[in-house]
Amino acid sequence: MLPFRHHVFICTNRKPDDDGCCAARGSEEVMQKFRAEIARRKLQSEIHVTPCGSLGTCGHGPNMVVHPDGTWYSGVTVEDIAEIVEQHLLGGKVVERLAWLDNEKLHQTIADNRAKSLAKKQA
Amino acid sequence: MLPFRHHVFICTNRKPDDDGCCAARGSEEVMQKFRAEIARRKLQSEIHVTPCGSLGTCGHGPNMVVHPDGTWYSGVTVEDIAEIVEQHLLGGKVVERLAWLDNEKLHQTIADNRAKSLAKKQA
């Protein structure tokens, strides 16, 4: 049995030299408000929210992933939080306008970012 | 369909004033070696590994969680990585000696740590 109905991870990675990273795009505020929304609705024993490092979809953030279904969201703002909580976490329906619906495209984006990051380290 | 067969999150949280936090217990090395092991086995398109912030089981770390099954592991060392990859991620069998098998105990530990952290902030 799952310990939590949903476990939400929100990227709060900050790259000092990259204004396209999640933190530079406001993910820390998304994280704080998401947690506050879960606490306000007394859902902490059902929905666990954890900050995380890069999910690999850098440049599209703020990024988050919802488990166990593995839904990947990008471009999430504080205005989207209520909709994700209500429609997806409580209602079971993915917010399609923010989700990666094509796994192949998601994998390619992550692989491209990994290659870019590796090249940068080796430069 | 899940974007990854498994998504592993490893806590690399560092609390400067707490030598019981995951980073102080060696989680950054666990993270690096876990990723290297996945890369060595060419499993990157099947198993995604992401560093994360506190999972709430502080003091028991290094902590990690494996999704979609939501298996919570604590006290993971670099010596345990091959076993977790082979037995659990490839073989589908949880490494019970490292896992939280009692969800109620897990929830209570997380709630206790949350209360402790809140009290510290308010002090």
Q: How confident is the model at residue A120 (pLDDT cuts 50, 70, 90)?
A: confident
Looking at residue A46, its pLDDT comes to: 97
Indicate yes or no: CB of A9 within 8 angstroms of CB of B103. no
> Does residue B57 sit in helix, strand or coil?
coil
Looking at residue B53, its pLDDT comes to: 97
Q: Nearest CA to CA, how far is B52 from chain A (Å)?
A: 4
Q: How confident is the model at residue B70 (pLDDT cuts 50, 70, 90)?
A: very high
pLDDT in tens, A18-58: 778 999 999 999 999 999 999 999 999 999 999 999 999 99
Structure-token pair, residue A117: 């990051």
Helix, strand, coil % in chain A, rounded to nearest 5 = 45, 15, 40
Q: Which residues of B touch A68 (CB under 8 A)?
A: 67-70
How far is residue B118 from each of residues A10, A31, A120, B87, measured CA to CA in Å? 21, 17, 39, 37
Residue B19 has pLDDT above 80, yes or no: no
Q: How confident is the model at residue B18 (pLDDT cuts 50, 70, 90)?
A: confident
Q: Which residues of A touch B64 (CB under 8 A)?
A: none
Q: Which residues of A touch B10 (CB under 8 A)?
A: none
Q: Is the dihedral of CA B26, B28, B31, B35 positive or negative?
A: negative
For an interface test with A, the pick among B11, B50, B103, B107 (most A C-beta atoms closer than 10 Å) comes out as: B50
